[in-house]
Amino acid sequence: MKPEEPAHYQHIKAEAGKLGPGGAFISELFSPFDFSGIHMRMPDQTFSGEYELKVGDKTVRLIEVGPAHTRGDTLVHVPKDRVVYTGDILFSGGTPIAWAGPVSNWVRACDRILAMDVDVVVPGHGPIADKQTVREMRGYLQFVIDEARKRYDKGMSARDAAFDIPLGQYASLGDSERIVVTVWNLFQEFSGERTEPDIFALFEMMAAYRDRQRGHAHAHGHHQHHG
């Protein structure tokens, strides 16, 4: 069963207790959602590159920019409204996560948005945004590429590299543990060897990263309290 299928997540929620820390973390993340009885609707029409259609009197441009966040990322540009709907190519106020990569494709997708004549950018995650938010996320992705590359060249493991990268100006972004998956994918790119990800192992690493972050925050707060 592929992770994209809703029934898969329902199964993980039901079996979380038997699936280790990774399963427990997935179950926690998806606890507000009920995936039962949901069936995937396959597209009636597919396209590659770009596709233009009319919705009422408006021209809508579909632009393929994946694989990046996932295999099939698409921008939806409505020129008349000066708006682009990015799907998960933009995480506004949160940490992006590269399940597919290459991450360089994602950076190029950001550049594609920045070159558009738009005022409003509607993200897949977070509040309505503009080009400045796109620039900020592009900066984060490039930062992670550069930092991961340094550590790959030193022979570190993907896990150690992700845990070692100092987030600096990006420390305040929500869900910072997602860096683990992006770095894992970058290491795959750097090595040129593509293996199927072990979803539970990646979620387990994210849970460990988050627990460490919380531990640091608690220790820091404790220290301040007594200072």
Q: Which has more pLDDT, 62 or 21?
A: 62
In this prediction, residue 102 carries a pLDDT of: 92
- pLDDT the model gives residue 25: 82
* Structural domains of the chain sorted by starting position, each given as residue range(s) with its CATH number in brackets: 1-36 (no CATH), 45-195 (3.60.15.10)
Distances 28 to 40, 133, 152, 173 between C-alpha atoms, Å: 23, 28, 31, 20
Q: Using CA atoms, how far apart are residues 31 and 13, in angstroms rounded to an integer? A: 7
User: Could you tell me how far CA 222 lies from the centroid of its own chain?
Assistant: 32
The answer to whether residue 109 scores a pLDDT higher than 60 is: yes
Name all contacts of 168-173 with Cβ < 8 Å and 24+ positions apart: 168/143, 170/95, 170/140, 170/143, 173/93, 173/94, 173/95, 173/140
What's the mean pLDDT in 189-218? 85
DSSP string, 113-164: HHTS--SEEEEEESS-B-HHHHHHHHHHHHHHHHHHHHHHHTT--HHHHHHH
- What confidence score (pLDDT) does residue 221 get? 54
State the pLDDT at residue 226.
Answer: 46
pTM, whole model, 2 decimals? 0.86
* pLDDT number for residue 224: 45
Predicted confidence (pLDDT) at residue 179 exceeds the cutoff of 90: yes
Pairing of strands 58-64, 83-91: unpaired
